[in-house]
Amino acid sequence: MSPSLFSLKSLRRRSKASFQTERSTDTSSEGDASVSQGTPASGASTPPSLSQKSDDALNLRSKEPAGAQTSRPAPAPHSSSNNRLSMAGSISGMTGLGSPGMTGSRSHLPISQYAPRIGNLTDGCWAYQKVLLVHGTIGEAGTQRPVDGTLTISRADDAFPPIQWPVCESQWKALVYLQPGPNRLRFDFSSPKLMNSGSSNPIHSSYVMVHMLPPMNAPPLHLAILLGSDSPGTFDAMPARAEREGNGLDTAMRKFRMAAYLWQAFTSEQMFRNKLGRRAFRFDEEWMTGTSNIRDREMGTMRSEAKVHIIRTDKTVNELRDLEKAQQYEKASKKGALFDIAKQAVTNYFQPLDGQKLHVSVLLLDAHWDTSSQVITGHAALGGSGGDLRVGIFGSHCLQSYPSTFEEVVPAFTDCTPTDTNFVANDCNDCGSSWEMVNLGIGAHLHETGHAFGCPHQESGIMLRDYVRLNRSFVAREAYSTRMKSKGGVVSRDQECGWHRLDCLRFRSHPCFRLPSDPPMSPDESVQAWPLDGGNLIVTAPTGVAFVEIFGDGDDVCHAWIEYAAEGHGSGQTPRNATLSEVDLRSRLPENKKKGNLKISVKSCGGGSLDVGDFHKLVSSKESTLKLENGNAAFKSKALGFSQMPGSSPGQVVFSSSVKHNRVLSKVIVFHGRAVDGMEFFYDDDSRQLFGKRGGRPGGDTFDLDVRRGEYITGFHVRSGQWIDGIQILTSMGRRSPLFGNVHGGSPTTLIPPRGFTIVGVSGSCAAWVDGFSVLIAR
């Protein structure tokens, strides 16, 4: 028997107790951090009793090869927080204690009462973007006097250099750079008022493991810098700043990239606070020299960073600056011209395929502060969509004040250097100092990017003008404000800006905000409305009804809404049907809005939207209800198409089989070309009914129903815009006809009646072809 085998058997025969007695209990000088047991899993966790865990840890050590423990995930955090203080002891008594290992594993050391507590992370949590916004306190809130100091965040693998963040009255905010996979992070607090803080052996430490998984199943937000054909690639900057940092294209790319990372971190935190998951848009990336920290640039470290596309237009710089002076000025000429130029340049550059939706945020680098006219030329703040292209644009007149690395974020948001209008603009008089210029530039550009994501103006938040407080999301103490004439101070959470709740609900359904765990998206994002008697409306959506916005008479922004949260339903999904009452909707409005026109906008979980401009008109009996021959009431769905073609006239067909029991619908002939011309319904007695016209392909296309098995029509899948481009018939046996007409025209909508109703006919209008379509339903 070999000695190694003999020793292995001997090892297995030894009891746990023998390990405890033979092993030294003095671990303060041990170099193997992988067997330490006292380090918390996160700033909010308390380690269990050492006596409870000692046996398990030693047993693991006897069974695993050396070094295996270092890859083991940190234990889950405990909910109790009172033990932290009881174990901490006095700070003076901790002088000279060993520092916990950088691996993030547990240590025998007591936990300092000044160890950072992390407010928005738990050990082992998941994130889905590169830059994470983290906040917390030093020690237990309210258990000790507030302290100032410095928080240092470092990685166990040193893949990103340690970054320091200020602590103000025990409050701190910081950014963390994540890499795909596990990220073991260490948070160290130091203060000149605490012993041992200035040594190389810090003891006020917390640890957390964050797993990052990039959402590659979501389309990216592209970043682009737009230049004139003869642009030198420079932006406005004060001479001292230009000399120190440069104001060329390379500097612009680094600053724009860092601003985009701040957008991402801010948005993810806002979604998390709204209990919608850590959702944020991702970026198109490229392998390049890292620009997010100073060390990468000095050492040439390569990273996958957000790609900034450089796009040149066929317009010269002077042409761009003359097209639009500045959107905020009444004397601006050709409003929107720069937006159209940007869209065309982006389209020419990316050359998207048919049906490929692009989301692009554009920085207009040639924006320039014209001191003679006191106008920002070559700048426009606009965002929106044109077909499959979604674009937000903003000028570079605030770019000089942006941070370009993590180390510059806090200095940028606290820099009180006055704005010299001899060189740079004080946009809207909100940029009296450098840090206020950061707020407006980064925040207003995020506002326009929000428009590109489909967000309208809101009553508060980024989509109003709340971004002038953007700094409060990234620093714990605000500097002196020239805009408010206030000296600043410590910032509480309720003083920060944010995305409006309705923006977050939109993002929850947006394809760019999908998480890897989300189920596949349905291609049918449509919403349909079904008026009923009694002033009620049923709305249906194949992907589920997400929320309903309610607008009173004259409202430009939404002040009241109804949410349909998934957790409120036993199936774990949002409802596909929702009933809306006019009385209930009006009750949610302020007293001065309860009368007058009532408008709603219904949003689906797939991102679809349905607007009802006059709720009362839609649900009124005269407009939406008709009496059938058999005495039953039928209800008309909200029409598709605009019914505005020249010569358009209304038409309606009530199926004979729905009012006469001796009739059976046997087949449907659809007349179509590049649009739907008409539909003819045939019955078993050879009678027929025509809706629309017999145009398009001669004879049309026939779809037969299985009469012997009682097959009947249960719905229609329609592609429509201004008119009806294509139509597909759905049956009770789960069959679908071919899609007749233009299979790629318009937008898709599925018309399936709510539960308890059946289709009894079709209605709409027809001109040269069908330009309006709805279905009739009855109980």
List residues with catalytic annotation. 448
The tokens for 427 are 């946009």
The structure tokens 């955090």 sit at 77
For the purposes of burial, counting CB atoms within 10 Å of the CB of 389, is it exposed (0-12), middle (13-18) or buried (19 or more)? Answer: buried
Task: For 443, list phi and psi in degrees, rounded to 5.
Answer: -70, -45
Calpha distance 743→638 (Å, rounded): 22
C-alpha dihedral, 12 to 18 to 20 to 25, nearest 10°: -120
- Torsion-angle region of 621 (φ positive above 0: left; ψ -120 to 50: alpha; else: beta): alpha
CA distance 622 to 618: 9
Q: How far apart are the first and last CA of the chain?
A: 86
Distances (CA, A) of 205 to 114, 169, 185, 240: 8, 18, 10, 39
Cβ atoms of 607 and 509 within 8 Å: the answer is yes
Determine the number of helices (DSSP H) and then strands (DSSP E) in the chain.
16, 39
What's 1's DSSP letter? -
Q: Say what angle helices 249-273 and 434-452 make with each other, to 10 degrees.
A: 70
3-class DSSP string for 713-771: EEEEEEEECCCEEEEEEEECCCCECCCEECCCCCEEEEECCCCCCEEEEEEEEECCCEE
Give dist(CA 656, CA 431) in Å, integer. 70
Q: Are 535 and 606 in contact (CB under 8 A)?
A: no
What is the C-alpha to C-alpha distance for residues 474 and 425, in angstroms, rounded to an integer? 24
Q: For residue 172, what is the enclosing H or E element?
A: strand 171-177
- Measured between alpha carbons, how far is 559 from 514 in angstroms, rounded to an integer? 27
Partner residues linked to 683 by β-bridges: 665
- Please compute Rg for the chain using Cα positions: 32
Q: What is the dihedral of CA 95, 97, 99, 101, to 10 degrees?
A: -170
Cβ atoms of 167 and 476 closer than 8 Å: yes
Give the other-Cβ count within 10 Å of 485's Cβ: 8
| Cα–Cα distance measured from residue 260 to residue 282, given in angstroms and rounded to the nearest whole number | 10
Closest CA to 385 of 351, 324, 340: 340
Between CA 160 and CA 181 the distance in angstroms is 14
156 CA to centre of own chain? 30
DSSP code, position 447: H
DSSP states of 301-319 as a string? -EEEEE-EEEEE-SS-HHH
